[in-house]
Amino acid sequence: MRYKPLNSNIYKLNRSNFLNNMKANSVAIFNSNDIYPISADSELPYEQHRDIFHLTGIEQEETILLLSPSTNDSSNKEILFIRKSDNHTKVWEGEKLSKKQANDLSGIVDIYFVEDFKDILNSIVTKVDNLYINKNEHYRANSPVETREDRFISWLLKKYPSHNVEKSNPILQRLRSIKHPKEIDQIKQACDITKKGFNRVLAFIKPDVWEYEIEAEFIHEFINNSSKGFAYSPIIASGHDNNVLHYIKNNKQCKSGELILMDVGAEYGNYSSDMTRTVPVSGKFSKRQKEIYEAVLRVKNEATKLLTIGNNWKAFHNQVGEIMTKELIQVGLIDKNDIKNQTKDNPAYKKYFMHGTSHHLGLDTHDYGLLEDPFQKNMVFTVEPGIYIPNEGFGIRLEDDVVIQNEGEPLNLMKDIPIEPNHIEELMN
C-alpha cells in the first residue's frame, strides 16, 4: 500500500463503539461508494465512502458491512462482504482483496463475497425490529447525485416495509468527531507532507510564475511522499482572486506586488490536512499587506486559544467575531459608526470576514461533528480567519490544524510550517 494502514484493532474499536450506540434487535448496513463515470469508458479515481472506511479500513469498491448487536450468535455481529476476483478482473484490474487480506485490514472474522449478501441479510433482518440506514446528514452536504447507498436504502425499505427505521449518521457524527491518537498521527503525517510542499513552493515562487505551476510543485512533493495528492481541490489564488473564497481555476500568471493565497492540503491514508498561507509574489510584503497579514495572524492566534473543552462551535464563532471586529477597527476597515449600525444577523465584521473560522478535520476535510456539541479532547479543527479587501485588490487567509487537549491551548499540528511574515520573507529571499 502507498501508506501505512492503521492497526485493525482501531477498526474493531470503531465498530464496537457504533454497536454500543445501537438499539437492541437491530441491524445496520453500510455500502461503499460507486465508481463514478466521466464519459465513454473513463472513470473518476475511486474514493471509498469514509464511513465504511472508518469502520473497516477497507478501500475496495462493492464492499458492504453489516453490524447487528441483536443475535445470540456472536459471529453475526460483524459481517463483511467483498468483491470476488474472477479471471477477467485479474487480467484487467489485478487481484481484489482475499478474505485473509480483508481480515488483516479490518479484524472482521466473518467475510463473504457480495453474491451472498442478500441471503445473509434476509436471514438477519427477519429476526430484528430496526433497520439502521446511513443517509448523509452532514451540515454541508449537498449531493444531487444518487449514491450507491441511496439506491440500497430505497431497495431495503421497499423490501422490508414493516421494520422501524433508525439513522446511523447521528451516531457516526459524534464517534468520528473524536479521533483515536493513531488517527491523529495520520493527520499529522498529512500535515508534515503539506509542510514539505509549502517549503518547496516558497523557493519556487517569483514574479511571472503561473498559478498552475505552483499547484504542480505541491502535487509533486505530495505524491513523492506517499500521499495520493490533494485532500481537496487546491486554491492557488493570486492578485484580486485572493478574495474569491473557493477559487480553483489556478490559471493566472502571478505578478510582482501581488499576494498568492494558497489553500492546500495533502491527504495521507485517507486523512486530510488543510493549510492556508498567503505570501508575496515578489518575496516582500508591502506595508499595507503586512499590516493586514499581522491582523489576521493575531486573530488566528487568539482564536486558537478558544478551542478548549466545553466551548462549542457556535459560541466560538461569535467569540472570534469579537476579536476580528477589534482588529478591523485597528486597521481602519470599520469604525464605531459601523459597530453602532450592525445587527445580530449582520455584524460589521462580516463585510471583510464572511466565512466560518473552524471546521472539524479528519477522514473528510469538512469532517463529521455536530456544531451544538461541546468540544472534547482529540477533536481536530482548522483555524482559518481571513480579511478580504476587494477594493484594495487583495485578501489574506491563514489556516492551521489543531487538536483539542485536556488542558491549555490545542496542539498545533502545523506549528512547524512557516507563518510569521518576516520568516516568510526570509525564506523567499
Residues 396 and 288 in one domain: yes
Q: What is the span of the domain harbouring residue 276?
A: 181-428
Residues 121 and 224 in one domain: no
Is residue 380 scored above 90 in pLDDT? yes
Residue type, 85: S
* Contact by Cβ (8 Å): 404, 181: no
Cell of 398: 491563514
CA 302 to chain centre: 23
pLDDT value at residue 144:
85
Residues 326 and 218 in one domain: yes
Residues 232 and 138 in one domain: no
The Cα–Cα gap between 30 and 168 comes to: 9
Residues 268 and 298 in one domain: yes
pLDDT value at residue 1:
84
Is residue 230 scored above 70 in pLDDT? yes
Buried b (16+ CB within 10 A) or exposed e, 47-75: bbbbbbbbbbbbbbbbbbbbbbbbeeeee
Beta-strand relationship, 64-67 and 42-43: unpaired
CATH number of the domain where residue 96 is located: 3.40.350.10
Q: How many domains does the chain have?
A: 2
Residues 204 and 83 in one domain: no
* pLDDT tens digits for range 147-166: 999 999 999 999 999 999 99
* pLDDT tens digits for range 75-104: 569 999 999 998 888 989 999 999 999 999
Residues 198 and 289 in one domain: yes
Residues 268 and 145 in one domain: no
Is residue 71 scored above 80 in pLDDT? no
Cell of 15: 465498530
**Predicted structure pTM score:** 0.96
Beta-strand relationship, 235-238 and 411-412: unpaired
Task: Choose one of 125, 148, 177: the last residue of a domain.
Answer: 177
Instruction: Report helix, strand or coil for 385.
Output: coil
Instruction: Report helix, strand or coil for 81.
Output: strand
pLDDT, average across residues 207-212: 98
Residue 1 lies in a domain: no
Is residue 44 scored above 70 in pLDDT? yes
**Half-sphere exposure for 426 (CA within 13 Å, toward CB):** 6
Residues 154 and 242 in one domain: no
**Residues forming a β-bridge with 266:** 230
Question: For residue 115, what is the DSSP state?
Answer: G
Task: Choose one of 177, 199, 226: the last residue of a domain.
Answer: 177
pLDDT value at residue 73:
62
**Half-sphere exposure for 428 (CA within 13 Å, toward CB):** 24
Residue 87 lies in a domain: yes
CB atoms within 10 A of CB 77: 19
Q: What is the mean pLDDT of the chain?
A: 96
* Contact by Cβ (8 Å): 114, 84: yes
Work out the pLDDT band at 74, boundaries 50, 70, 90: low
Task: Choose one of 177, 201, 220: the last residue of a domain.
Answer: 177
Work out the pLDDT band at 294, boundaries 50, 70, 90: very high
Residue 2 lies in a domain: no
Query: 270 CB contacts (<8 Å, ≥6 apart)?
Result: 48, 50, 53, 59, 363
Residues 121 and 189 in one domain: no
* pLDDT tens digits for range 97-137: 999 999 999 999 999 999 999 999 999 999 999 999 999 99
pLDDT value at residue 9:
98
Work out the pLDDT band at 4, boundaries 50, 70, 90: very high
Residues 281 and 421 in one domain: yes
Share of the chain above pLDDT 70, in %: 98
Cell of 212: 498552475
Residue 3 lies in a domain: no
